[in-house]
Chains A and B, each alone.
Chain A
């Protein structure tokens, strides 16, 4: 069973009104589907929000997730994005222990390699901003662990399909 598991990204255009996030998350809970991450934001179209949901499951489950999403009345459009056909990004803010100059330099070197930014400096800490795929962020976090991660905030994955394929509401 475990072998058949895969991760996909569901992009859903939803009515931008109160209660929609509740009805979506409620459906996931009720049907025993797992949300790995979810992000919600406004779109270029007025009154429409976009949810990007990362889900893991076997093919049958993933098919049901998409169908059950489609059934929700405030969900306008649902797209299933396969990992190989998308660009996806996640942003992480990481507060790391940096009590001395040597540590500081080491961390800054790592941040440069990962094309991140230092966005806050205090005598004891640094805050790093890293953007990239979830794998890249995981790799960076592993590098930071020895220094001591004080606080971590991740946005969750957001994604678009590559090329002309897009999920939008035709006017």
Chain B
């Protein structure tokens, strides 16, 4: 082992470089100054200054989801670290590999220099705070330990079921000069990855699939994480099995494919919700059967034999009982299933089940009643799809904007639809868009936003302009916190409480104040024109689209109901 004398701060940046890190989103502060000072000597790493640590964490998350590579964020101790918390929790719920590095007050000191555990200035127990919302966290106690800690952080964040890892670096450790070696092995004896899919389970799954008359595949976010979309497509086409996606699985299967049913769930596509209930065999891949996806569990696919592929053993049997569990990587498992299936089934072009689906598709897809020129979310999002190339990345905020996007904006490729699924974090979409654009600078990135959500992280307009990360924000501006207003309308007899935003601020002026460009559009034609201009622009564009504040996301499965009990028109 070769060791070099260096500071902890230098060891950190060397270790990050060795992991291939090119971008860091962050905000500095007193307890992380030594690391930032060292950044001056590491020009290969680009630091992007967020305007709030939550923005930095979401940007790292968006970076990771768009690229499949871990996203890194930095924050100082205390409030810097606690401001990351929402972003870390968000990454945890959606299994996104985010590496958060936080400064911490020193672990040593005298009576005159404060140390950890004594309620020092900007001290917060970020390890305690983030334990339930990280895959792993660790406070490094010596500079020599840094290379291993960083290797372990990246290994844990990116393997198995990915997730965020936080490394807390006390200031004295950043300054400590030590003999540091980068070729030490990491020892994680308590971290074991799922192996290859068990052949017996594959055989059982294939037996069910071969016999199935009405198979449905349910693809979750795990398909995207595992880069298993190609394998999913081959299995679906061989079986002629329609594919429904969970919200996190959107993009794992091209939504213009004839076998695509769209999303299931509370605001799922009625076709997907309905067909899932009729399935006799359900092949669920990389999904945790989240409550918003399944609705009432008692009436979820009651007739179907269920095969559940997940890399996380704890997801098997957590929410629903399954007949054939397979704990393994989705890509490997789908390949193994295909290899065995191809020997037993002949390729077909039609089946009674497909005919049933195409009939249902006609019934459940009424013609668009939107009048010409009316600014309805459905028409807007369908127009946006036409204007954007296949490779464009769309992020969303949370609420009605997000559910409209899920319903009407067809995702064609994995990693092109990025949204806060599990935590439902308003304010995620815009900084995530900046992260995605940083990871994929040659592609268009569009944040589909609502006025309520956009305001929550709108300060990152400064980051996008100053750091030259041009994206497009489409604000579906209804002047209310729309989703909760919809719930008040439907379930609280229209007693509106605390949902009115009053069409403030003026988003065009807001954009301009930050040095971005802003447009307000009053018609579909103006919308098209604005989007085209935005796509050509070298600066971030905010398009303000005033819409009706009473517009519902419909249909909807009311809370507590089964997927078959959808209310409202599609």
- Return chain B residues, CB-CB under 8 Å to A75: 190
Please determine whether B190 and A76 come into contact, CB atoms closer than 8 angstroms.
Answer: yes
A74: interface (CB < 8 Å):
yes
B290: interface (CB < 8 Å):
no
Residues 120-148 of B at the A interface (beta carbon under 8 Å)? 127-128, 131-132, 135-136, 139
Please determine whether A73 and B136 come into contact, CB atoms closer than 8 angstroms.
Answer: yes
B40: interface (CB < 8 Å):
no
A30: interface (CB < 8 Å):
yes
- Return chain B residues, CB-CB under 8 Å to A19: 127, 131, 139
Please determine whether B190 and A26 come into contact, CB atoms closer than 8 angstroms.
Answer: no
Please determine whether B189 and A76 come into contact, CB atoms closer than 8 angstroms.
Answer: yes
In angstroms, how far is the closest chain B Cβ from the Cβ of A157? 23
Task: Tell me how many residues of A have a C-beta within 8 Å of chain B.
Answer: 22
The answer, among B128, B189, B314, for a CB contact under 8 Å with A22, is B128
Decide: A67 near B132, CB < 8 A? Known: A73-B156, A75-B190, A76-B190.
no
Please determine whether B189 and A169 come into contact, CB atoms closer than 8 angstroms.
Answer: yes
The answer, among B135, B188, B191, B313, for a CB contact under 8 Å with A67, is B313
B317: interface (CB < 8 Å):
yes
Residue of A nearest to B135 (CB): A73
Residue of B nearest to A26 (CB): B131
B397: interface (CB < 8 Å):
no
Query: Which of B136, B190, B316, B318 has the most C-beta atoms of chain A within 10 angstroms of its own C-beta?
Result: B190
- Return chain A residues, CB-CB under 8 Å to B127: 19
1/0 per residue A66-96: CB within 8 Å of B?
Answer: 0110111111110000000000000000000
B255: interface (CB < 8 Å):
no
B312: interface (CB < 8 Å):
yes
In angstroms, how far is the closest chain B Cβ from the Cβ of A111? 43
Residue of A nearest to B133 (CB): A30
Decide: A30 near B312, CB < 8 A? Known: A63-B317, A76-B189.
no
- Return chain A residues, CB-CB under 8 Å to B135: 73
Please determine whether B314 and A60 come into contact, CB atoms closer than 8 angstroms.
Answer: no
- Return chain A residues, CB-CB under 8 Å to B317: 60, 63-64
Decide: A73 near B191, CB < 8 A? Known: A67-B313, A67-B314, A68-B314.
yes
In angstroms, how far is the closest chain B Cβ from the Cβ of A123? 43
Assembled-state Cα–Cα distance A76/B127 (Å): 20
Question: B interface vs A, CB < 8 Å?
Answer: 127-128, 131-132, 135-136, 139, 156, 188-191, 312-314, 316-318
4 cross-chain pairs, A with B, having the tightest CB-CB distances, nearest first: A67-B314, A76-B190, A30-B132, A73-B191
Please name 20 pairs of A and B residues whose Cβ atoms are closer than 8 Å in the assembled complex, sorted by A.
Answer: A15-B190, A19-B131, A19-B139, A22-B131, A23-B131, A26-B132, A27-B132, A30-B132, A63-B317, A64-B314, A64-B317, A67-B316, A70-B313, A70-B314, A71-B312, A72-B190, A73-B135, A73-B188, A73-B190, A75-B190
